[in-house]
Structure 1
């Protein structure tokens, strides 16, 4: 009988349920309603470490999931992370390192001996081990590789030979592959008799004599079929194969499109070399989405743990580029300096035309960049996409121009001024719609990341056109005469 009331006894192979862990999962003692570590809990751990009560700190932290321990270290001031990690000892294990922010992990690894890092790498799947090792300096990386067993070293060196952010870096080598001539019973016996096989898998890959995948079989099918059924009769021959050099963003799109749980990775000759699972893809989708947003703003990686100088270098170059593009708009204003002097109201209204046009351009640009990132735009629908955005811009332009024109005419008691600003607004929103779609598409056609600098050029176009259209129409209409 269990001492935990309604809590069931653990099944064979499971860890016993801990009361503190149950409380923790409910968010009562350590987590807030958003599943974040409470400030009081983090402070209690840091205070225990500072007072030299390492055992107390370990008692507080031991019920936490490795991802929560990683959060704890990330919430710890950078100058104290080494001290806290040392106090927690083996609680900061391989799984915790794999969950850590890259910058925080790199800082901790710098304080560890290569043999310790190698020990962590041995405990992880190949993809997680590669994530830990790949950003290390060449000398440190080689020292860690030298400390690994030959088999582990070969697997990691093979993964490191593939391009960064490719399927080869992302895949796991540990998988289950069987020949098609085996029966369900033989497969089950094979799984039971070989204790060194991986225990984390959702499907079994069926391969031919050359180790090329010819089908896949879900575990549920194997468990519910008679032992005499041949794998060749049970397997599904249609499957999604991932080339080893495919970019991880493309891999994520395939998982999303075909609702995959796992997928086989093949090399250039079509041989099975690994598999990718959906848990890795969840991280990729989150990372890629965040990268696109940050690139649109020119904020670099945008990581709060990134060194200050790295953030400075990533952002300042785009600010300087923006400074140059802003000079284009200011030059246009300079051309119409006399016009503005003769009618001060123009200076008051100019920012409205440029600002609304810039927002319209940003909306279209965001939609276009997302469509490019998710492969919704191809060569067959590019023209249709631009025309669609122009229709949206036309409707927006008519609406905003009408409201603004009537408002300006009433406030300034000048119908001609209202008509001019309405025409300028209409022109700028149409320009914004065209630029917001065309600029990212142009970057994409040039094999450049459309999220990197599109916003700067779209802003320059909308600001310049807004000032030019408004001031030019005002001069042509004789409003300043």
Structure 2
């Protein structure tokens, strides 16, 4: 029996070594020192085995002045895909400092979707200057993708794909894949097109490899059920990938000609970006705000939201002023008043968050809106009654006034019902008039809960006492 050969398997890295390169201050310092010495060989040794995501984290951890120097020193060894991992502000600053020739050469060596992602945030003049350095065919392909609307499938698609005629055999196709240079490094299917490049269907790789070489593709081609238009919104496309568990999908133009392919790694980025944008919008932060943005940009972008909240606060204070006499007669009203408004605000935010997310994912539709509204109304009523009982007991124990406990209990019920209705109806109304509910719902819901809470509590108190 032949003696078994023991494979040399490297030991697993300790947990502390598995953290991103940018999170290791000592490593960042060594890289920075190599840049200061202009030691390209040491720099290559440091970053040679890093994934592009880790290279991106390293770049962001470096001082701003060192970032373009790292790329220049690495030269052809720098993978420009790492720039897709950076905040937009950092990426644009780096690109503006690099020579046009360096950027042009860098985007030539990466996938077209990554090249478009890098170039799209630059000024038109800078984009054209870089594109002018590229060969005509590559320039035309990138320009076509850049001409599609922002956040569309055309901006996200990869223009490198494998397309063959239906009369080819499986053997011809496999030989073409193995012998032709310049094909995409990663792909999941072979597309079949007619002479005008209109999509006929596709053949998944597993099906291709299990079919005899002499069989023509026309006999094994599968019609694509989930064809994406280049002008489709990227969020809608992401929803299709999620619903049908797709790995890739062909992208066609208005004439049904195949122009690109979307893969699941692109869609994961879209899902993350859209979720990040919605979360920021609910907090009154611009969707494109990043940690690397300047103080002035962030201050300006947040001002409008804070202004809306200031207006809402003034409306609420006007309602309070209407009952100034009652507040002077009974100090307990001023003590308890914020409790009613606060509970309503929190309940309204809960309902609004669920509604906005359901609208974003298309789970909340006209067909089920009535049922959801009724459910939220019942939830508001139930919680209102529950907290009314709790507060009635607390107020009686604290102030010894049974009537005051009844007043705050009734106000609590009214405000939590109003919060539930406002939290669901306002996002629905904004969506109906084509306004992003995530951006605009917050101030309206807050205003409703504050105004209804103050008015209900103080109004009932003025009538009761």
Classify the TM-score, shorter chain: over 0.9
Secondary structure of 2:281 counterpart:
helix
Which of 181, 184, 193 in structure 2 is aligned with 1:195?
Answer: 181
Listed one character per residue, the Cα deviations across residues 211-257 of structure 1 (whole Å, up to 9, x for unaligned) are 22232221011112222333233232242011111111111111111
What is the distance in 2 between the residues matched to 1:233 and 1:418? 79
What is the distance in 1 between the residues matched to 2:456 and 2:414? 7
Q: How does 1:226-245 map to 2 (within 5 A)?
A: 226-245=212-231
Which of 373, 378, 383 in structure 1 is aligned with 2:360?
Answer: 373
Q: CA deviation at 1:43?
A: 3.2
What is the distance in 2 between the residues matched to 1:247 and 1:208? 27
Listed one character per residue, the Cα deviations across residues 110-134 of structure 1 (whole Å, up to 9, x for unaligned) are 1112111111111122111111111
Q: CA deviation at 1:57?
A: 4.3
What is the distance in 2 between the residues matched to 1:52 and 1:189? 45
Matched-pair contact (CA < 8 Å) for 2:22–2:58: no
Q: Is 2:137 the counterpart of 1:151?
A: yes
Cα pair distance change 1:164/1:355, threshold 3 Å: same
Secondary structure of 2:98 counterpart:
coil
Matched-pair contact (CA < 8 Å) for 2:196–2:257: yes
Q: Is there any run of 5+ residues in structure 2 with no aligned partner, and where?
A: none
Cα pair distance change 1:60/1:195, threshold 3 Å: closer
What is the distance in 1 between the residues matched to 2:7 and 2:441? 58
What is the distance in 2 between the residues matched to 1:106 and 1:355? 43
Answer with 274-283 or 75-84: which moved more: 75-84
What is the distance in 1 between the residues matched to 2:447 and 2:42? 58
1:436 aligned residue: 423
What is the distance in 2 between the residues matched to 1:395 and 1:335? 30
2:163 aligned residue: 177
Q: Is 2:90 the counterpart of 1:74?
A: no
Q: How does 1:27-176 map to 2 (within 5 A)?
A: 27-29=15-17, 31-32=18-19, 37-50=23-36, 55-176=41-162
Listed one character per residue, the Cα deviations across residues 258-291 of structure 1 (whole Å, up to 9, x for unaligned) are 1010001111122211110000111111111000
Q: CA deviation at 1:53?
A: 5.5
TM-score (norm 2): 0.93
Secondary structure of 2:132 counterpart:
helix
2:201 aligned residue: 215
1:282 aligned residue: 268
What is the distance in 2 between the residues matched to 1:270 and 1:52? 51
1:11 aligned residue: none
1:427 aligned residue: 414
Q: CA deviation at 1:47?
A: 4.3
Matched-pair contact (CA < 8 Å) for 1:167–1:242: yes
Q: Is 2:390 the counterpart of 1:403?
A: yes
What is the distance in 2 between the residues matched to 1:394 and 1:179? 64
Q: CA deviation at 1:85?
A: 4.3
Which of 343, 352, 363 in structure 2 is aligned with 1:356?
Answer: 343
Secondary structure of 2:23 counterpart:
coil
TM-score (norm 1): 0.90
2:330 aligned residue: 343
